Structure formats: structure tokens, C-alpha cells
A and B are shown apart, each in its own frame.
Chain A
């Protein structure tokens, strides 16, 4: 027994020694559960696929915690090679010019092929600079979609709506059949940001913030946005919309239990929902307002990977190697099929399609199809500083709408004022 143990130790020691010859790189991320496991599996695949580099992924908790840890580490010179930054934190890290190396530069310098056109349209711009150069490497991308309780549709004898007007027509029937017609998680992402994208509405001045930080102002108390929230409040008062607070899971749970007909969630929720839903479900695009247009593509949600500056050249070469590896169709398909996040390249999408993945699981295709819908002037994304704080303000005011403390118009006016004060402050900070 003892001999076996010492032998194992010896083998371990030898392996470690040989590993020393490799270049070590680190990857901090904000994912847990099954998604965190898949990150570990992908890292292992990368380590097995080549000998020169060794990648170690490390979960730092939530998205916000990962960003905060990355910032703190950068300030003390201990930053990882790769940092995962979520959509709302993009402006923060991209405004800090010396903190990162643009992913596109890194890959090109390493002599790897890189073509922006390989990526599906919806993910091309969100983490790119004004010239379209990829600063962040899109990684886990998702779209807000509408999950459908098929039993509820049958019970009420209705079809799933594609527009909010159609929803208003079918909702009373679903209520009569004993279902809560609609719930939604994270109203900030669903009914603010993607109300803007799906209906091609301007979200901020300065080209949604892409053209500059100075003087950028958010636009949230315009007539159309007020209309959206007036409607939500009206639906909530008529028991057509159930709202259970700012927490994501509290709004998802009644749907999983089969009490709700439609739930607006993330395409990335699919993996988990397959295990937790107690009834059969399907999915459709996030509805849009026919009165405002034809329904354009949505913003991508999720996160991107940023190569942190201040690392030796050989480590940067490994980071570039990993970015290329990550965008290979095989890895993208593996990630897509195991998590529910969308594939980010056309090649990966075609590969999943050819494998028959979508014949088996049609819900998995909804998110990517929504991201590939025709775009509009205002659908490529937004670049707004202190955005996590702006979302907190929105969450506070949205809760006040549904607890009956303020009217939707007053709430949106407050968001407008406070968010613009934050944006002005961000402009000062970034200079």
C-alpha cells in the first residue's frame, strides 16, 4: 500500500517537473454549476491538444466578483492572463486602455488566422471598438428568449405570440385556463436593453455610447419605453404578468413548476431548464411590438474574454493560442451543446446543424436564430460606463413600479437622471 502511494507521489512529481517546461497561463471566470464544469473540461481539452501551454481556469464567483477580483489583481500587478467580463462590465474594462490587449491584435500578432466575418452578426460588435476591431473575445453569448409551457397553450387553446399585441390577445385566455400568462427574469436585460434592440430603439446618445464617453446620455424615459412599462404594470395589475422581485430564480421557478405559460429567460437557461422543468416546453423569440416595427435582432448577453496587459510575450502567445482554440468549431459546438449558450461562429452553427442537434432539441436553435435576425441602426450593442450601477438603479425603480410606489413614467425619469449622473461621472473618471 505504502509503496503504491510513494510510487504515485513519484509519478506526480515527475509529471510536475515535465509540466514546468510549459508556459503557465491563468483564466479567471465568473461561472458556477454545470457551466463552470464545462469551462474546466474545455481547459483540459486545450491542455491535452498541445504541449507548449498549460491553462488553469479559476472561478471567482459571480460575474461582478470576477470583474472586481480582476481589477484588484491588476492594480497590484497580479492579474490573470485571461479575464471573463460580462456584458454590463464591458465599458469599464474597455475604457481602461492599458489594461488589456485587443484580442484581435493578440491573435494576429501570434500569426494565427483571424476573420471577423467568421463570427455571427450579433456578436461581432458588442465587444469591438468603434472601428470594429475585437477588443474582447466573445465567449459565452446568449439571447433573451421566450420559453413556452406547451401544456398551457393546449389548455387555453392558443398559439404562442410573436408580438406583444398578440400576447395581449391570448393572455386573458391563459389566465382563464388557470395559468399566470407571463413572468420574466432580469427585467433590465429583457425589457430595457432588449426592448431597445428588438424594436430598434436608440438606447443612448453618441451612437449608443460607441462614439465616445464624453457627453453620452442614456435614453430611457421616451414615450415608447414608458409605453412598454405602462403595459407591464397594466398586465401585472390584471394578473397577466407575475413579478417576483429582482432575483433571477424567483421568476423562473413558477415556470419550472408549470404554473406559468411564458417565461422570458436566457437562451443559456436551456441546459438547466431541461433538468428542472416539470412540464414539456418549447421556445420562441422574445416578442416585439408590431406597432414599432418588424422585430430586429437582440443584443447579445453573456460575457467575453479579455487578455490582460502586462504579461510576458510567451504567455500572450499561449493566450492567443487558446483564443483560437476556443473559436474552433469543435469546441464551440461542445460548449453550445453542453451549456445552451449560442455558438459564436457560423462554422460552429453549421456543424451543430449538420450533426442534427437542432432536430433533436429545437429550443437550442432559438437563441442563435434571434441573434441572426436582420439588424437595425440600434441593434449592435451599447457602450455605457458604470453600467452595473445603472442596472442596480433600474432594478430599484422597477421594483417600485410593481410595489405600486411610483408610476412607470416617474420611475423611468428617475433612472434617466441618476444614470446620466453616473455616465457623466464615468466620463470624468476615464479621463
Chain B
């Protein structure tokens, strides 16, 4: 029997790329005792089991029940909670906005992050100050970002609102659905650009100068060099960031949204995660919000599989 070659998992490959440059091939450690490796991974497994698997199982279980908030009684209702969520227009609208929000935030923050990184890469003088200014935004916590966004778009005193008024756009963030959506997307993108910037910049700096010089001989147009040489070399970074950015837009924007809608979403756009929180924690509807979180889990799992199947194939890991 011949041992089949071990195909590294996508993220393992990502990590290999990440930890470049590696002049030496990875060392393979051998354990004498079969139990030893398990011992080493046990703490990690325990954490994953306690903080991920156990709550997941609980969420799935309670999604089939209608439960008294205080835990005195629970009635099995089968798929009722799912049926209710999926048939509600409110829920569908929120799902629609979540898709739009995730797509827009990901596209804009990747695009702008890349643009800034390419430009910063070319800067010779004062590069440090320039980069620090761009990166520093990343150190701000999401709720604080939300607070800054709230002030920027405030109906009475917000500079953005005033600027929009100059163009005849009467922004009513908090009342008008679309205005609030614009404000949320702007703030969420602003927060994420530095993250993408750091990764793209380091990706760009990892492009060997020999390759750049060779490209310079082949093409005079800067855009063509970027498109044909730099961009393919950045693809692994881009793919990694795509996964991270979608996750960010879906989950990590919670703090921004919570602060910007001021704890009272009313008719303002919110994402599915925020809806889970609203129904579960503010509404005390445990079964309903569990069903919603299971739906979200399934969607994200499907999305991740699709990303790896469809996009990752086209990515070339150097």
C-alpha cells in the first residue's frame, strides 16, 4: 500500500504562506508515545468543546422548544420556531439587508484597503507616519467606532449630516432606513480598512524585487503590471481577507450597530446577529432566537464551503 500524499487543508496552506519566508522545509516532529499529541491539544480541544460545541448543541436543542424564560417549562414544538422565522417578512427583510451589508462592506473595505496599500507601498518619504495614521484606526474598539459614527451622523450636530445638507441631501439617520444604512456601511468600512491595509501591504512587500524588475521589462503600463503580476501574487492574501471580511461584516459589526441604533433599532436596518440578540436577550424568546442562530450557523457554514470550493481553486499559493 502506498501512502497517499497528505493534502494540506486550505487554512494550513494559508498559514504556511503567512509564515513565509521559509527557507527550510517544515520539520516533522515525531512523538514516541501515541498519547502525547493528544495531551498537547487537549487544552485547546477543551476550550473549543466548552465554548463552541456545547453552546451549539444547546442552541440546536432549544430551537425545537418553546421555553419559559425562567426555565420552568419547555414544550416541544418541532420546527415551529424555524417556520415562524423564515415566514416572517421582517426576518426576510433583515436577511436581505444582511446580505447587502456584508457584500458592500466586504467589497468597499477590500477595495479601499488595497488601493491605500498599493499607494503606501510606493511612498518612500514619510512612509512610517503615513502607515501609522492608516493603521491606528484598527486599534479602536467597535463600540467606540459606533460612538464616533453616531456623532458624525447625528441629526442635530453631525458633520456628515451637515456636509450632506450642502448637497441638498437631508440625512435623517435613525428615522430614514436608507440614510441609516449608508451611515452603518460607512462606519463599518472605515473600521475595517486598516486591517485589510496591513495585510495587503505586507503581501505587496513580499513580492520579490526580481519579479517586479522582470515585470518592468515586460510591460510599461503600471496598471498592466499590477493586474498581471502583483494581483495574482496577492491572491492568497485577498482570499484570506475575503473570508475574514465577510465574517467581520456578519458578526463583528454588532458593537457598531448597537451603538449607532442606540439600543432601539425601530425601523432601522440591522443584521441577523443583532436580531438574534434582540429576540433572545431583550425579548426573552429563547426558542425563537435559538432557531435564528442555527439558521445563521448553517448559512455561514454553507458560505464558507462555497468560498473554498469556488474561489480558493483559482488562488495560486506561490
Contacts and interface: CB of A to CB of B under 8 A. Distances in A.
Interface of A: 62, 64-65, 67-68, 71, 74-75, 92-93, 95-99, 243-247, 249-250, 253-254, 386, 388-389, 392, 395-400, 402-403, 405, 418, 425, 428-431
B267 A98 contact: no
Interface string B71-97: 111010000000000000010000000
Contacts of B174: 244-247, 250
Most buried by B among A93, A246, A402, A430: A246
Interface in B264-301: 264-268, 278-279, 281-285
Kindly list the 4 A-B residue pairs having the minimum CB-CB distance in the complex, ordered from nearest: A245-B174, A246-B266, A399-B267, A389-B283
A97 B279 CA distance: 22
Contacts of A388: 282-284
A244 B172 CA distance: 8
Nearest to B280: A68
B interface secondary structure, majority: loop
B66 interface: yes
B283 A392 contact: yes
B138 to A, nearest CB: 27
B72 A98 contact: yes
A386 B284 CA distance: 7
B69 interface: yes
B70 interface: yes
Contacts of B68: 95-96, 429-430
B154 to A, nearest CB: 8
Given A75-B70, A403-B176, A396 B266 contact: yes
B284 A247 contact: no
B32 interface: no
B70 A74 contact: yes
Interface in B35-86: 66-73, 75
B107 interface: no
Contact of B285 (A67, A75, A386): A386
Contacts of B268: 399
A399 B266 contact: yes
A392 B265 contact: yes
A400 B265 CA distance: 12
19 contacts: A68-B284, A71-B70, A95-B68, A96-B70, A96-B72, A244-B156, A250-B174, A386-B283, A386-B285, A389-B282, A389-B283, A389-B285, A395-B267, A403-B175, A403-B177, A405-B267, A418-B90, A428-B66, A428-B75
B227 interface: no
Given A71-B70, A96-B70, A403-B172, A246 B264 contact: yes
B314 interface: no
B262 interface: yes
Nearest to A61: B263
A64 B176 contact: no
A interface secondary structure, majority: helix
A205 to B, nearest CB: 22
Most buried by A among B66, B67, B264: B264
Given A68-B284, A92-B284, A429-B68, A246 B262 contact: yes
A418 B283 CA distance: 14
A431 B264 contact: no
Interface string B170-183: 00101111000000
B265 A396 contact: yes
Interface of B: 66-73, 75, 90, 155-156, 172, 174-177, 262-268, 278-279, 281-285
A396 B175 CA distance: 9
Contacts of B282: 64, 68, 388-389, 392
A375 to B, nearest CB: 30
Contact of A425 (B66, B175, B262, B278): B66
Given A386-B285, A392-B266, 8 more contacts: A65-B281, A75-B71, A96-B69, A245-B172, A246-B262, A247-B262, A386-B284, A428-B75
Contacts of A96: 68-70, 72
Contacts of B265: 246, 392, 395-396
B69 A92 contact: yes
Given A74-B70, A75-B70, A243-B175, A400 B284 contact: no
B284 A254 contact: no
Given A68-B284, A244-B174, A397 B267 contact: yes
Contacts of B284: 67-68, 71, 92, 386, 388
B291 to A, nearest CB: 13
A398 B175 CA distance: 9
B71 to A, nearest CB: 4
Contacts of A249: 262
Contacts of B155: 244-245, 250
A392 B90 CA distance: 12
A244 B175 contact: yes
Nearest to A76: B71
Nearest to A400: B267
B70 A99 contact: yes
B97 to A, nearest CB: 13
Contacts of B266: 245-246, 392, 395-396, 398-399
A65 B283 CA distance: 11
Nearest to B69: A71
Contacts of A400: 267
B228 to A, nearest CB: 49
A387 to B, nearest CB: 10
A253 B154 CA distance: 12
Contacts of A405: 177, 267
Nearest to A98: B72
B182 to A, nearest CB: 14
B285 A245 contact: no
Nearest to A63: B282
A398 B174 CA distance: 12
A69 to B, nearest CB: 9
Contacts of A386: 283-285
Most buried by A among B71, B265, B278: B71
Given A254-B156, A388-B282, A392-B282, A62 B72 contact: no
A75 B71 CA distance: 6
Contacts of B285: 386, 389, 425
A431 B172 contact: no
A430 to B, nearest CB: 6
B63 to A, nearest CB: 15
Contacts of A74: 70-71
